[in-house]
């Protein structure tokens, strides 16, 4: 199986699993326990925390709260920060942010959604236009999970703070962390990440928080773990996997980025342009290429490809009860384009040969579609 | 309590109407009851006109009742006690059955006509003792809140129980031959299968899919529906046939407005062959007149024309609402409405022919190699076990 649905989830890293095994079978102690074993587990958490922060931010400025997933981190950030006035985000957000913003309405905060461009990136001018003196939170996805478009969050954050210094700025970094170079600048307050998109396990995420931003509140109350911000015994094994997988990804991120961008473009080159049109931007994430075989159904192509040994994602569903991708609709795609969306997403374990095989199979499947 | 044996009394419905066939119906019914109770410790005893489930773990009582409530042929059932028929034992059991307050009455049925007390005398005697025991009780003969039933049997025993729970009625599954249900994943077909099983038919399941245009979750959903249905109907597997290539060929070669009509003719042809393989004597569908474009009398005529087996359509005169009410009662509705399509819209014409004429259909069909396509589809036959 050639796995090219890495934006959905990645295969857990063998190396990370092997190293983390120790914390599953031997050092299984509660990190809050006051004997030696507990201390060892606790040290792992400290080490992991400081490594993960240091890769993308100044550890003197940022701390990190481990959560159970990216969605939890997004929710905690949003409902802590958006408590009054209005909150501004984009139409290109992942559901974890988008649906939480819709929920804000029920809590007396007005959500505002800035439009996106055809490639899925936010129209920054329109977003800034929506920010006013009453804005308590601005959230902009770093890398679009649907198209791979990269938003310049440092610049957007700067413009937000120029207009309203009191507004909190957060970004969902789930598709950026460990995949592209990320630097949290002084205008960014909150950033969310997830382990299973970079070779870690499902069930582990994190919220990075500017230390000077203290208004964050816990969802789960209890034993006071994670500085009182996220009670519940820590997922030591999951966090160890996250840590070790991140070490692997960051150690070769620059080279991988160049190589995967080439593989991605090679795939695009080989696709039959009479069938496929490109949705992803040229300067997007090296890991995501979204295309559409207009008039065909992405979900059906996806299963045909699966039977040919290739796993890819889709932006739509062959189903009248489930609407098309909300984000791609916001990008302005018409019905026929929305039907045929396929998302090919890479991880460093993919090769140029994978890309070639996928392109040929995608052409073949689309030609066989409908018995044509 | 000594000699107080907890039992579930099962009464059967139409079986006793069946004259000389009665023995056969009772044997099938017994087998079905045993099948329903499989895996739970119990003893099934046949007494005159009813069955007793005994020797079960009291913690299983609710589960046993739930299963009995799904066996066709059960008229009603009651949870109670089997005791020796002397007054002391009758009273002891009555005390357990009767609530301690509210209005009540005692209702005696005497199969043993030699019993020293008459029915009214027994009612009065046990009623009086209960009143003395529970001061909160009051007698109300006409509309009591609870009834204590005494059933004096001829073998020196008696059954003491409270309420009658309604069974599903109908006839024992298997007494009306075997049918093959075309099950789609929608709301209607499971209800159609239920209704035929209710009349004693052994229902087998056949599902058509068009992978990769339909997904595996849709198939899983049909298996789940069949599993729910099989609690009543007793089927053990779902047969599936892939009709993708047939759909592609029709799409490519024939008039778009006939897509559905032609596909249904293929489904019926294939179903008839599967029915023969499974020993089924008829096809069952969930069609209801006028519900969709293919469910017109012309549509039915066109499908029937390709098979010789009778096609039973028990829902033909039902409104959607009536079908939904039944689906909810059977327990298939929630699964049926899960959002997976059974037939991808890729092949659905915008304007299907509502009243297709047979000569036109047959003319269009000539563009296809019917026998080869049917054979190819039969080659994809799979059997998915339900347990």
pLDDT in tens, A316-372: 544 444 568 899 999 999 989 998 999 999 999 999 999 999 999 999 999 998 766
- Give the residue carrying structure tokens 């339900």: B386
Helices (H), A84-139: 95-104, 124-130
Return per-residue pLDDT of chain A as tens, 372 residues. 999 999 999 999 999 999 999 999 999 999 999 999 999 999 999 999 999 999 999 999 999 999 999 999 999 999 999 999 999 999 999 999 999 999 999 999 999 999 999 999 999 999 999 999 999 999 999 999 999 999 999 999 999 999 999 999 999 999 999 999 999 999 999 999 999 999 999 999 999 999 998 889 999 999 999 999 999 999 999 999 999 999 999 999 999 999 999 999 999 999 999 999 999 999 999 999 999 999 898 989 999 999 999 999 986 544 444 568 899 999 999 989 998 999 999 999 999 999 999 999 999 999 998 766
Tens of pLDDT along A264-304? 999 999 999 999 999 999 999 999 999 999 989 898 999 99
Cβ–Cβ of B248/A321 closer than 8 Å? no
Max Cα separation, chain A? 69
**Which chain B residue has its CA at the smallest distance from A303's CA?**
B212
Which residues of A carry out catalysis?
318
Q: Domain residue spans in chain A? A: 14-250, 252-371
Tens of pLDDT along B162-201? 989 999 999 999 988 999 999 988 899 999 999 999 999 9
Ordered by where they begin, the domains of chain B are 5-166 (3.30.2130.30), 178-385 (3.40.50.620)
Compute the Cα dihedral for B294, B295, B301, B307 and give only its sign: positive
B346 touching A (Cβ < 8 Å): yes
Least confident of A178-187, A301-310, B120-129, B290-299: B290-299
Cβ–Cβ of A321/B339 closer than 8 Å? yes
Contact B74, B14 (CB under 8 A): no
- B38's CB contacts (< 8 A; 6+ apart) are none
Cβ–Cβ of B213/A319 closer than 8 Å? no
Write the residue in A307, A322, A370 that is nearest to B251 by C-beta. Answer: A370
Tokens of B82: 């089997």
The yes or no reply on domain A252-371 and CATH 3.90.1150.10 is yes
Rounded to the nearest angstrom, the minimum Cα separation between B203 and chain A is 30
Write the residue in B249, B339, B344 that is nearest to A322 by C-beta. Answer: B339
- Which CATH number is A14-250 given? 3.40.640.10
Q: Which residues of B touch A340 (CB under 8 A)?
A: none
CB atoms within 10 A of CB B9: 23
B345 touching A (Cβ < 8 Å): yes
**Which chain A residue has its CA at the smallest distance from B348's CA?**
A370
Q: Is the pLDDT of residue B291 over 90?
A: no
Cβ–Cβ of A318/B213 closer than 8 Å? yes
Q: Is the pLDDT of residue B21 over 50?
A: yes
Q: pLDDT at position B341, please?
A: 58
Distance CA A316, CA B340 (A): 14
Write the residue in B211, B247, B346 that is nearest to A297 by C-beta. Answer: B346
Distance CA B303, CA B268 (A): 7
Q: What is the bridge-based pairing of β-strands B282-284 and B311-312?
A: parallel
Query: For residue B54, how many C-alpha atoms fall within 13 Å in the half-sphere facing its CB?
Result: 15
Cβ–Cβ of A318/B212 closer than 8 Å? no
Q: pLDDT at position A318, please?
A: 43
Cβ–Cβ of B344/A300 closer than 8 Å? yes
Mutation for B interface: A316, A318, A339, A369, most B CBs within 10 A = A318
Write the residue in B245, B249, B341 that is nearest to A318 by C-beta. Answer: B341
**pLDDT averaged over every residue in chain B:** 91
Q: Nearest 5°: phi and psi at A197?
A: -90, -5
Write the residue in B249, B340, B346 that is nearest to A300 by C-beta. Answer: B346
Tokens of B335: 């699964």
Q: Is the pLDDT of residue B26 over 90?
A: no
> Which of A242, A256, A197, A234 lies closest to A19, judged by CA?
A242
Cβ–Cβ of B252/A299 closer than 8 Å? no
Contact B321, B333 (CB under 8 A): no
**Which chain B residue has its CA at the smallest distance from A371's CA?**
B248
Rounded to the nearest angstrom, the minimum Cα separation between B289 and chain A is 24
- Give the residue carrying structure tokens 């916001």: A330
Return the DSSP state at A213: -
B340 touching A (Cβ < 8 Å): yes
Interface contacts (A, B; CB < 8 Å): 40
B342 touching A (Cβ < 8 Å): no
N-term to C-term CA, chain B: 39
Rounded to the nearest angstrom, the minimum Cα separation between B243 and chain A is 12
Q: Nearest 5°: phi and psi at B84?
A: -60, 150
CB atoms within 10 A of CB A38: 15
> Which of A317, A303, A318, A316 lies closest to A362, judged by CA?
A303
- Give the residue carrying structure tokens 């009662």: B329
Contact B148, B104 (CB under 8 A): yes
- Tell me the residues of chain B between 268 and 287 that have a Cβ less than 8 Å away from chain A: none
Q: Nearest 5°: phi and psi at B205?
A: -115, 135
| Beta-sheet strands, E only, within A132-237 | 135-139, 168-172, 190-194, 205-210
Rounded to the nearest angstrom, the minimum Cα separation between A270 and chain B is 24
Q: pLDDT at position B355, please?
A: 85
Write the residue in A300, A319, A321 that is nearest to B212 by C-beta. Answer: A300
Cβ–Cβ of B341/A320 closer than 8 Å? yes
> Which of B249, B338, B329, B264 lies closest to B295, judged by CA?
B264
Cα three-residue angle B184-B186-B189, rounded to 5 degrees: 65
Rounded to the nearest angstrom, the minimum Cα separation between B214 and chain A is 7
**Which chain A residue has its CA at the smallest distance from B210's CA?**
A300
Q: pLDDT at position A24, please?
A: 97
Q: At what angle do helices B320-330 and B188-198 cross, to 10 degrees?
A: 70
What pTM does this model have?
A: 0.84
Contact B149, B109 (CB under 8 A): yes
Cβ–Cβ of B344/A322 closer than 8 Å? no
Cβ–Cβ of A304/B212 closer than 8 Å? yes
Q: Is the pLDDT of residue B88 over 50?
A: yes
Cβ–Cβ of A297/B213 closer than 8 Å? yes
Query: For residue B243, how many C-alpha atoms fall within 13 Å in the half-sphere facing its CB?
Result: 28
Q: Which residues of B touch A309 (CB under 8 A)?
A: none
Burial class (CB in 10 A: 0-12, 13-18, 19+), A254: exposed
Rounded to the nearest angstrom, the minimum Cα separation between A369 and chain B is 9
Burial class (CB in 10 A: 0-12, 13-18, 19+), A307: exposed
**Which chain A residue has its CA at the smallest distance from B214's CA?**
A300
Rounded to the nearest angstrom, the minimum Cα separation between A306 and chain B is 9
Tokens of B290: 């006028």
Cβ–Cβ of B251/A319 closer than 8 Å? no
């Amino acid at each position: 199986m050639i796995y090219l649905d890495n934006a959905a989830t990645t295969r857990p890293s063998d190396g990370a699993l092997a190293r983390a095994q120790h914390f599953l079978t031997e050092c299984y102690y509660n990190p809050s326990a006051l004997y030696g074993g507990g201390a060892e587990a606790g040290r792992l958490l400290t080490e992991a925390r400081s490594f993960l922060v240091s890769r993308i931010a100044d550890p003197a400025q940022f701390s990190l709260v481990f959560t159970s997933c990216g969605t939890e981190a997004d929710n905690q950030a949003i409902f802590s920060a958006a408590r009054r006035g209005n909150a501004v985000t984009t139409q290109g957000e992942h559901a974890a942010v988008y649906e939480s913003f819709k929920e804000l309405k029920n809590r007396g905060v007005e959500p505002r959604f800035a439009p996106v461009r055809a490639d899925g990136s936010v129209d920054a001018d329109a977003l800034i236009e929506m920010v006013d003196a009453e804005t308590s939170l601005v959230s902009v996805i770093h890398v679009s999970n649907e198209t791979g478009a990269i938003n310049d969050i440092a610049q957007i954050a700067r413009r937000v703070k120029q207009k309203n210094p009191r507004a909190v700025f957060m970004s969902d970094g789930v598709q950026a962390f460990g995949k592209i170079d990320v630097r949290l600048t002084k205008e960014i307050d909150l950033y969310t990440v997830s382990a299973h998109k970079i070779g870690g396990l499902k069930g582990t995420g994190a919220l990075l928080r500017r230390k000077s931003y203290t208004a964050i509140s816990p969802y789960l109350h209890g034993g006071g773990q994670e500085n009182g911000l996220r009670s519940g015994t820590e997922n030591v094994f999951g966090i160890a996997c996250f840590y070790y997988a991140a070490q692997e990804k960051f150690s070769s991120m620059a080279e991988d980025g160049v190589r995967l961008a080439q593989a991605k473009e090679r795939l695009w080159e080989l696709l039959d342009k009479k069938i496929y049109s490109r949705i992803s931007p040229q300067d997007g994430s090296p890991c995501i290429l979204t295309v559409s075989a207009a008039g065909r159904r992405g979900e059906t192509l996806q299963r045909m490809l699966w039977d040919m040994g290739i796993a890819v994602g889709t932006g739509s569903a062959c189903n009248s009860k489930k609407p098309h991708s909300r984000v791609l609709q916001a990008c302005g795609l018409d019905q026929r384009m929305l039907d045929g969306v396929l998302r090919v997403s890479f991880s460093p374990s993919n090769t140029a040969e994978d890309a070639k095989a996928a392109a040929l199979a995608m052409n073949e499947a689309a030609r066989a579609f409908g018995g044509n | 309590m000594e000699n107080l044996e907890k039992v579930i009394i099962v009464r059967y419905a139409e079986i006793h109407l069946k004259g000389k066939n009665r023995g056969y119906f009772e044997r099938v019914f017994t087998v079905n009851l045993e099948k329903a109770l499989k895996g739970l410790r119990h003893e099934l005893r046949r007494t005159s006109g009813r069955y007793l489930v005994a020797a079960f773990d009291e913690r299983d009582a609710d589960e046993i009742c739930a299963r009995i409530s799904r066996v066709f042929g059960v008229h009603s059932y009651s949870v109670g006690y089997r005791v020796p028929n002397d007054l002391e034992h009758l009273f002891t059991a009555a005390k357990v059955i009767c609530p301690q307050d509210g209005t009540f009455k005692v209702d005696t049925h005497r199969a043993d006509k030699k019993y020293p007390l008459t029915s009214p005398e027994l009612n009065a005697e046990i009623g009086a003792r209960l009143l003395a025991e529970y001061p909160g009780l009051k007698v109300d003969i006409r509309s009591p809140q609870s009834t204590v039933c005494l059933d004096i049997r001829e073998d020196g025993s008696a059954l003491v129980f409270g309420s009658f729970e309604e069974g599903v009625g109908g006839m024992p599954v298997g007494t009306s031959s075997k049918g093959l249900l075309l099950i789609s994943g929608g709301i209607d077909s499971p209800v159609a299968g239920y209704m035929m099983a209710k009349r004693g038919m052994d229902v087998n399941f056949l599902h058509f899919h068009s992978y990769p245009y339909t997904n595996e979750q849709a198939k899983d959903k049909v298996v789940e529906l069949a599993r729910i249905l099989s609690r009543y109907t007793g089927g053990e597997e779902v047969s599936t046939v892939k009709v993708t290539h047939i759909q592609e060929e029709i799409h490519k070669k024939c008039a778009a407005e006939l897509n559905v009509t032609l596909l249904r003719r293929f489904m019926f042809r294939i179903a008839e062959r599967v029915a023969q393989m499974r020993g089924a004597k008829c096809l069952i569908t969930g069609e209801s007149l006028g519900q969709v474009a293919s469910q017109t009398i012309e549509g039915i005529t066109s499908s029937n024309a390709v098979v010789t087996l009778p096609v039973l359509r028990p829902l033909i005169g039902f409104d959607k609402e009536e079908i939904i009410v039944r689906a909810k009662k059977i327990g298939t509705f929630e699964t049926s409405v899960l959002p997976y399509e059974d037939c991808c819209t890729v092949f659905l014409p915008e304007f299907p022919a509502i009243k297709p004429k047979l000569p036109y259909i047959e003319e269009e069909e000539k563009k296809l190699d019917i026998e080869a396509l049917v054979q190819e589809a039969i080659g994809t036959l799979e059997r998915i076990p339900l347990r």
